[in-house]
Structure 1
Amino acid sequence: MNYHHTTTGIFRSRPNRFLAQVEIGGKTELCHVKNTGRLGELLLPGTPAVLDRHEPGKRKTNYSLIAVRKEGQWVNIDSQAPNAAAAEWLSGSPLGFPVTLLRREQTFGDSRFDFYLEGEGGQKAFLEVKGVTLEVNGIARFPDAPTERGVKHIRHLIEAREAGYLAYLLFVIQMKGVTAWEPNERTHPEFARAVREAAGAGVIVLARDCRVWEQGMEIDAPVACRMGSGGPAM
């Protein structure tokens, strides 16, 4: 997926979770942050940043902050990018069957999953996407803040699997250079338990890293999933 009006700057501060002060061309601009997560290890004063420029008058700010530099590489922090990248990735039928139908925002029970798929072999599947920006010592972790909504999605993926659907949980790691993904047990133990329960119930847990550049991002290589607490590696 690509952005069409990008520019670079220097991150200065984050007054609140929705806004950042970024120096662009020697002038400090107030920018929208397209991610409400903590991002404490990424949004450091002096960090190079990528901004997506808005059409004049369309939004309250002129720019959105979409990526920052960490240890020599770009990390995409746009919370909408993983779904866009996943839609492109799924069009290539990477799940082992040719996809004949792909719908976004499909309801099942009390949840709305990111994707519903059908395959030419009669497969019917739901897939939920989670974007990952937290990396510690080469290990990607999710979530970076407690997410009751994420737990709810996982519980309903289990229900979908029990109802006969294929069910997938895809962690899109918005960077390169990680060796594994694991649930962030310390930040949200309930989420970690739910992921392990889902894997045991037949939900397929996947992680993929991404190629990230100033104008875009695409899903790239598989990353090992480590369940933790004795759970299976996938």
Structure 2
Amino acid sequence: MKYERMEPAEFLERPNRFVAYVRTRAGREVCHVKNTGRCAELLVPGADILVQRTDRQKRKTALDLIGVYKGGRLINMDSQAPNQVAEEWIREGGLFKDASFIRREKKYHNSRFDLYIEEKGRKIFLEVKGVTLEQDGTAMFPDAPTERGIKHLNELCDCIREGYEAYVLFVIQMEGVACFTPNMATAPEFGQALLRARKAGVHLLARDCVVTTDTLKIRDEVKIKLPPDR
């Protein structure tokens, strides 16, 4: 995945989930935040960020916030990126060597899963979760309670019962983490739902990414640490 027209900037403030004020070479500007999560540990005043300038005329803002530096680590926080890099990775044979059919946003009952794949008679649903939260080398998801995430896990369990295969892929939008774990302090219900999904036969995967100022690419497997089963 490659971005065009990237620029360095400084984060100033975020008055709501969708908009931030940033300082670019042109001065103070309004920027669209491509991540509605809290990201409180990332978007701190004075943080070095990366923005993408658009030339689309009907946009309310000319900039999108794409990346942020946390210490020496560059984190991609574009919430649309994980689905794209996951599809690229799978089309390159990263998970299924002989996939014959790949479709985005496949409907199943009351959900739309991010990817549907067919390979030699196998029928597979895959849900992608982007991860931007990191603490002491551990990547975590989510950064806020997520009823939608729990619903997806429950319906992936239904997929298993109906003869499909099911996967959850956590795309960690940074490099250099030691492991991944569900964020039990913030969203214990999601962690317990993840345990139930694994018991039901849902495959859990986590991968980090190579992140540069204008690219994002899935890289290495990351160890998943689940909480004790209650």
TM-score, normalising length from structure 1? 0.95
Q: Is the 8 A contact 2:32 2:65 kept in 1?
A: yes
Question: 2:27 corresponds to which residue?
Answer: 27
| Alpha-carbon distance between aligned partners in 2 of 1:2 and 1:146, rounded to the nearest angstrom | 31
Please show how residues 74-85 of structure 1 align to structure 2 within 5 Å.
74-85=74-85
C-alpha displacement of 1:229 = 1.7
Q: Deviations over 1:111-141 (max 9, x none)?
A: 100000001x211100000000000111111
* Closer, same or farther: CA 69–201 of 1 in aligned 2, 3 Å: same
Q: Structure 2 CA distance, aligned partners of 1:144 and 1:42?
A: 11
Equivalent residue number for residue 228 of structure 1: 227
Worse-matched range after superposition: 102-111 or 55-64: 55-64
Deviations 1:69-88 (A, max 9, x none): 11212100000000011010
SS at match of 1:28: strand
Indicate the residue corresponding to 1:150 in structure 2.
149
What is the CA–CA distance in structure 2 between the aligned matches of 1:118 and 1:211, rounded to whole Å?
27
In the TM superposition, what are the counterparts of 1:1-234 in structure 2 within 5 Å?
A: 1-25=1-25, 27-119=27-119, 121-230=120-229
Q: Kindly state the Cα deviation for residue 17 of structure 1 after the two structures are TM-superposed.
A: 1.1
Tell me if structure 1 keeps the 8 A contact 2:195–2:226. Answer: yes
Q: Secondary structure at the match of 1:38?
A: coil
Structure 2's unaligned 5+ residue stretches are: none
Structure 1 vs Structure 2 CA RMSD: 1.2
Offset from partner CA, 1:39-98 (integer Å, 9 cap, x none): 011111111111111114231001010100112121000000000110101112222441
SS at match of 1:17: coil
Deviations along 1:1-21, one digit per CA (max 9) or x if unpaired, are 111121111111111111111
Q: Which amino acid aligns with 1:180?
A: C
Give the letter for the 2:196 counterpart: E
Contact kept in structure 1, 2:170 and 2:207, CA below 8 Å = yes
The Cα of 1:230 is off from its aligned counterpart by 4.3
Distance in 2 of aligned mates of 1:224 and 1:31: 35
Structure 1 unmatched runs, 5+? none
Instruction: Tell me the SS of whatever aligns to 2:55.
Output: coil
- Please state whether the residue corresponding to 1:16 is helix, strand or coil: coil
How big is the shift at 1:178?
Answer: 0.7
User: Per-residue displacement from partner, 1:162-181 (whole Å, max 9, x unpaired)?
Assistant: 11111000000000111111
Length, aligned pairs only: 230
Residue type of the alignment partner of 1:25: R
Q: Give the 3-state SS of the residue equivalent to 1:144 in structure 2.
A: coil
Give the AA of the match of 2:125. F
**SS of the residue aligned with 1:15?**
coil
For residues 95 and 54 of structure 2, the distance between their equivalents in structure 1, rounded to whole angstroms, comes to: 35
Task: Give every structure 1 segment of 4 or more consecutive aligned residues whose post-TM-superposition deviation is greater than 4 Å.
Answer: none
> Secondary structure, in 3 states, of the residue corresponding to 2:150?
helix
